[in-house]
Structure 1
Amino acid sequence: MNWNKLLCNRNELQLLGTLNGGQSFRWTYNKDKDEWTGVFSKTVWKLKHTEDCLHYQIIGSLKKPPESNIKAKTSKDMYKLKYEYFEAMLKKYFRLELPLTKYYDEWSEKDEIFKAACKQFYGIRMLAQEPVENLFSFICSQNNHISRISSMVEKLCTFYGEEICEYDGVKYYSFPDVNKLSGSQVEAKLRELGFGYRAKFIQKSAAQIIEWGGEEWFDTLQNMKYKEARQELMKLCGIGPKVADCICLMSLNHLEALPVDTHVYQIAAHNYLPHLRGKKNVTDKMYTEIGDHFRQLYGDMAGWAHTVLFCADLKKFQTDTSDTENSKPKKKRKK
């Protein structure tokens, strides 16, 4: 299968920090081939990066270009239209319309700590995820570690999603539509699959979303102001401030949202807000103070900027500095 190419410098996109930093849980990395395989938008993708290009393959998909866009007369025209359609999906997913290097420069001017962190953690992008997958994935994330979250997400897809394709002996499934998770038998099945108390949160939240208008309900949240959208999300069963902020940031385009967990609290207390050091729990007041501090520091994309600090502080990335994906491209010396 041939690789398609999309012009994209490494400084504008680092796959490791973006795909393996706790935003999405459906990507795997083949270190031998330096390739990523993952699923989004009911499509199975392979990705790899060279100096100036993002290379991609469509392994399988349940999506098709809208018929109104198909004006091709030859198979070559059809091929072009198909990959223009998928390329647009890829650009949207990585928010490639936004000039990240420019934002990094702005954030570096405002914060010396960011300036130091971004030298290694360049190209960290905030994924534009589909709200349904994002919401239920982060319900699974509560009091959990990444490998178990990934396992739970795959179980949701296997039991309630649609099969997309089989590749290298692995079957890939789409993330289920919200109505598939709202049935009365869902909670019992998920408990049987090891979801614990999260089973109730998933089924009840799905039923609430259906009652409030289905997936179109998320469109209304995107059009609200950030704090209003956050309050609406917290009306769902099992959705607290942190998960609501994750959803606002990662799939509702409220890039000022800043999820505060214990790790983020430690970054803030150690480097920015020393009066918060030594606290046992993050209170509501502390949560708001930390978020507001970074919004004042970085502006209306504070959640994205802080994600770079979050990645820089994660121990798993600190031990991966020799990997190809995490090695800053060297500038060519002038002769």
Structure 2
Amino acid sequence: MEIISDNNNTVIKNIDDFDLGQTLECGQCFRYDKIGDKEYILAAKGKLLHARQEGVDLILFGVEGKTQANDWIDYFDLRRDYGKIKRYLLNRDEELREAIRTKHGVRILNQEFHEVLLSFIISQNKQIPHIRQIVRAISDKFGTFIGEINGIKYHSFPSVNQLVSAKEEDFRNCKTGFRAPYLCDAVSRLHQEQLDVESFKGLKEEEARQKLMEIKGVGEKIANCVLLFGLGYRSAFPIDVWIKRIMGEVYFGREASPAEIQKLAEERFGEYGGYAQQYIFYYGRDNKIGKKTR
């Protein structure tokens, strides 16, 4: 991987195992707009990015120098050896081969903890386009203006301090529905208990999961999403409706319980369970594996 800056843009060259579109559209984040073939606008960590992928190169428009580029290299997890992860998983489970081949460019983003927590509380019983609309509405209402591209104004996902005065009605006006009190409780706990990444340091995965599940509206599935996408627990294996159907069809030949699926994931995927989950989820969803037909 090489970083080259020129004319206020930066190119990250020769990136292995990365596809910008697959990484953004696999269901782990919600603040992006696709504006062209492998070209996106992305709001993350209080910044706005216009990026396009050309082969194994990633162009970051308006990003100057290695310092700024490194922020996005970290965000996209580009320094991690995904080839090693794929080899490990394929040695343990041949069933993953087609999913990994097809969704080869998925990487797990290093997102902000509070944004992941609140976004996945919103995600309950929602399709991705609607989640994105709600997250954008909350950002536009409470966040900080970070730029305008193609006539569209973008705001950062609001900080805890920006959200602490929000009432249930404010969240309901952003179309959150029954999730509004859950969001208020989460923001209150984040603020009063000073919940942040540091407060989870040193906790075992189960301890961290139980701590998250003390928040209203956070069950095991959402907690596992937050562990994986917001806290760096890469063995976490979220089980939603899609994963339950896919795992049941591919691995059990029948409907399987979450406990059975969790046990299989721990035994088969181990410390890389989260990566396996992403390959399985994205591949299975796009190919409608396990989808019920009338």
Considering the TM-score relative to the shorter chain, is it more than 0.5?
yes
- CA displacement 1:106-164 (0-9 Å, x = unmatched): 21121111112222211211111100111111111001011110010001111111111
Q: 1:58 to 1:121 in 2, by over 3 A?
A: same
Aligned to 2:185: 204
1:108-187 superposed matches below 5 A: 108-183=90-165, 185-187=166-168
| Cα distance in 2 between the residues matched to 1:273 and 1:150 | 33
Aligned to 1:13: 18
C-alpha contact 1:181 1:202 (8 A) present in aligned 2: no
C-alpha contact 1:43 1:58 (8 A) present in aligned 2: no
Q: 1:48 to 1:256 in 2, by over 3 A?
A: same
C-alpha contact 1:222 1:253 (8 A) present in aligned 2: no
Aligned to 1:301, the other structure's residue is in SS state helix
C-alpha contact 1:18 1:126 (8 A) present in aligned 2: yes
Q: How far did 1:244 drift?
A: 0.5
Q: 1:246 to 1:173 in 2, by over 3 A?
A: same
| Residue from 49, 53, 77 that aligns with 1:49 | 53
Aligned to 2:101, the other structure's residue is in SS state coil
Aligned residues: 283
Aligned to 1:24: 29
| Residue from 194, 209, 226 that aligns with 1:213 | 194
| Cα distance in 2 between the residues matched to 1:88 and 1:237 | 36
Q: What is the aligned-residue identity percentage?
A: 27
- CA displacement 1:223-267 (0-9 Å, x = unmatched): 311111010000011111111100000010100111101110111
Gaps (5+ residues) in structure 2?
1-6, 290-294
Gaps (5+ residues) in structure 1?
60-78, 280-285, 319-335
Aligned to 1:253: 232
| Cα distance in 2 between the residues matched to 1:264 and 1:15 | 23
1:51-130 superposed matches below 5 A: 51-58=55-62, 83-130=65-112
C-alpha contact 1:26 1:39 (8 A) present in aligned 2: yes
CA RMSD of aligned residues (A): 1.9
C-alpha contact 2:76 2:108 (8 A) present in aligned 1: yes
Aligned to 2:292: none
> What TM-score do you get using the length of structure 1 for normalisation?
0.80
| Cα distance in 1 between the residues matched to 2:55 and 2:22 | 16
Aligned to 2:107, the other structure's residue is in SS state coil
Aligned to 2:267: 296
Q: 1:209 to 1:242 in 2, by over 3 A?
A: same
**Larger Cα Rg: Structure 1 or Structure 2?**
1
| Cα distance in 1 between the residues matched to 2:120 and 2:131 | 8
Q: How far did 1:34 drift?
A: 3.5
| Cα distance in 1 between the residues matched to 2:148 and 2:73 | 25
Q: How far did 1:301 drift?
A: 1.4
Greater CA deviation, 218-227 or 305-314?
A: 218-227
1:262-277 superposed matches below 5 A: 262-274=241-253, 277=254
Greater CA deviation, 221-230 or 152-161?
A: 221-230
C-alpha contact 1:187 1:203 (8 A) present in aligned 2: yes
Q: How far did 1:205 drift?
A: 1.1
Aligned to 1:37: 41
Q: How far did 1:296 drift?
A: 1.3
